A = this chain, B = another copy of it.
């Protein structure tokens, strides 16, 4: 289990207030090793501090995205999932049929990244992508 200290210090360095709500959201993200959803974060936060509103959770997530501290990825299942950037970059293949998720090293997309930068001068945000499709089993 990791500390959430680095996330928290990054926040205060940038001049944002360290409210109890924000600390709890940060904690929930930093201490989760899978890809956590807003509702899971909210449940953890509310357990310790009952008067938090889910919109505060979403606003904190928004802030963390802007500061490049967490990524937001649609892995299917109707809700978006969050992951701390400093826990390492990778991607996922998501089977639309059975829901299976295959993990991918970040290097798989690095040649695409540099191609887009070279040919289109476009700096693509490919930090934590989900690519949908069909796995072997489900592809007939």
Q: Contact between A135 and B112 (Cβ–Cβ < 8 Å)?
A: no
Query: Which residue among A102, A133, A136, A139 has the maximum number of chain B CB atoms within 10 Å of its CB?
Result: A133
Give the docked Cα–Cα distance between A123 and B139 (Å).
Answer: 7
Q: A88-140: which residues lie under 8 A (CB-CB) from chain B?
A: 93, 95-96, 102, 104, 108-109, 111-112, 115-116, 120-126, 131-136, 139
Q: Is the interface of A mostly helix, strand, loop or mixed?
A: mixed
Q: Contact between B139 and A133 (Cβ–Cβ < 8 Å)?
A: no
Q: Are A132 and B124 also in contact (CB < 8 A) when A93-B116, A108-B115, A112-B112 are?
A: yes
Q: Which residues of B contact A123 (CB under 8 A)?
A: 133-135, 139
Query: Which residue among A95, A104, A120, A124 has the maximum number of chain B CB atoms within 10 Å of its CB?
Result: A120
Distance in Å: Cβ of A98 to nearest Cβ of chain B: 12
Distance in Å: Cβ of A140 to nearest Cβ of chain B: 10
Name which residue of chain B comes closest to A136, CB basis. B121
